[in-house]
Structure 1
Amino acid sequence: MFALISVSIAPAFALLSFFYLKDEYELEPIFSIFRTFLYGALLVFPIMFIQYAFQEEGVAQSLFLQSYFVYGLFEEFFKWFIFIFTTYKYSRFNTVYDGIVYGVSISLGFATVENILYLFAHGIEFAIGRAIFPVSSHALFGVIMGYYLGRAKFKNNRGISYLLLALLLPTFLHGTYDFIIESIRGQWIYGLVPFMVLLWLLSLRKVKIANEISQTQ
């Protein structure tokens, strides 16, 4: 059990450390990172309950609605909401890049609990694949969300637009991720690898821009 929990947590720790240390301006307090990570972790069970209820009631059964609504929108909306409700006004959130750090933290809290549950159910042999794809993708959705929430906080004239982008773009990306997996079963890796490469490039671009903006704030 210790080994399973360790391999479940390790990818999130590595990814969170990577994006945390990419902050070129001012590192956030570890306690604040842990707190937002915990918020993300606590989201798993209510979201799973809602998704289960939708499946049992036969609501939104098409592949498109399952991917973009039941999984993409639900998961990203709750992350977005908890970020705004708990962290957006936080005094230490004082640069655009801080948004990325907190967005990644919330997303990886969610991904870690989800990963533990999956590996308990299906076995430790899936750990590497889970680290490369689902856990990493959640982190990258968090980068995109956090970037636009950071822009929203420090860009008064376009704040609403950035707030909406912080929800809609991760939702679209998350939905596309799930749609690729479900639409080309058995050969999903041929669609998902290029998607993940593009997602990493987009996210690293946002990291670079956020650091540049943060240094001028």
Structure 2
Amino acid sequence: MAVISLLSAAIAPGLTLLAYFYLKDRYDAEPFPKVVLMFMLGVFTVIPAIILQHGIEPLAGGHPFIYSFVVTAGLEESLKWLVLMLVIFNHKVFDEPYDGIVYAVAVSLGFATVENIMYAWFSPNSFSALLYRAFLPVSGHALFGVVMGYYLGKAKFTGQRNKFIAYSLLLPVIWHGLFDYILLSSEQYWAWFIFPFMLILWIRSMRNVNTANARSPFRWLKREEEIKLEEIRS
């Protein structure tokens, strides 16, 4: 019973954040099976990530900067980005800027959820530790996904495709690398740095969410429907 409770606590943050960002789609909600598929692809991305990280970790030489930006952030964000580019970027369901955020968050949270389950299974079992992970690593992965998806949306729906495709990989790696570097290099005072960092990342990400929604080609259709409904009621 305790194991089931612990696993539920490990899974809940990822699913809650996925539901939150899914429901933020104001104009044209994505097919739920497709979102689940991207979440599951994020789950399976953990396997190559572990294998590759095990292979390149010795190259970091114990240096926190290299470990943060290359071994963890660089590799993990590159794998998520590759899944999105291969599976969803050119798919017909990706038909408005916010869709990039939904699918990138789904992949990221699939990855983060497996990490959380592994932590709960192999590390000292503690609900307080899982609560910490819900607020930091799991939400961090979701927000890195928002950044990635936002720029994939800009790449698909603006005239600067190559520039924004590059941003969609580079910026999540930078944010993720900074996140890991703070935790690895500030053993005693990490909280003084990580919480302002997360606040800034949340503010920036929600700005991206609102901007992507505001650029939806379906917003005019939604407004026309509202006007017609108001006319009927009056």
Asked whether the two chains share a fold, i.e. TM above 0.5, the reply is: yes
SS of structure 2 residue aligned to 1:88: coil
1:163 corresponds, among 165, 182, 189, to: 165
Q: Which ranges in structure 1 are unaligned for 5 or more consecutive residues?
A: none
Residue by residue, what CA displacement relative to the aligned partner does 1:71-120 show, whole Å, maximum 9, x if unpaired? 11100000001100011111111000010000100000000001100111
Residue 102 of structure 2 corresponds to 101
2:152 corresponds, among 142, 146, 149, to: 149
Determine whether 1:85 maps to 2:86: yes
Residue 31 of structure 2 corresponds to 29
SS of structure 1 residue aligned to 2:59: coil
- Cα-Cα RMSD: 1.2
Residue 200 of structure 1 corresponds to 202
Determine whether 1:9 maps to 2:8: no
Residue 118 of structure 2 corresponds to 117
Residue 59 of structure 2 corresponds to 59
The CA deviation at 1:216 is 5.9
Which amino acid in structure 2 is aligned with residue 30 of structure 1? F
Aligned pairs for 1:40-79 within 5 A: 40-55=42-57, 58-61=58-61, 62-79=63-80
Q: Which ranges in structure 2 are unaligned for 5 or more consecutive residues?
A: 222-234
**How many pairs align?**
214
Write out the 4+ residue segments of structure 1 that deviate beyond 3 Å after TM superposition. none
Residue 209 of structure 1 corresponds to 211
Residue by residue, what CA displacement relative to the aligned partner does 1:26-84 show, whole Å, maximum 9, x if unpaired? 111110010000010101111011111223xx212221111111111100000001100
| d(CA) in 2 for partners of 1:209, 1:99 | 12
Residue 134 of structure 2 corresponds to 131
Which amino acid in structure 2 is aligned with residue 213 of structure 1? R
2:178 corresponds, among 162, 176, 179, to: 176
SS of structure 2 residue aligned to 1:59: helix
Distance 1:83 1:209, change over 3 A: same
SS of structure 1 residue aligned to 2:47: helix
SS of structure 1 residue aligned to 2:215: helix
TM-score (norm 1): 0.96
Which amino acid in structure 2 is aligned with residue 78 of structure 1? L
| d(CA) in 2 for partners of 1:90, 1:34 | 15
Residue 190 of structure 1 corresponds to 192
SS of structure 1 residue aligned to 2:30: coil
| d(CA) in 2 for partners of 1:216, 1:195 | 36
The CA deviation at 1:187 is 2.0
The CA deviation at 1:2 is 1.2
Mean CA deviation greater in 207-216 or 111-120: 207-216
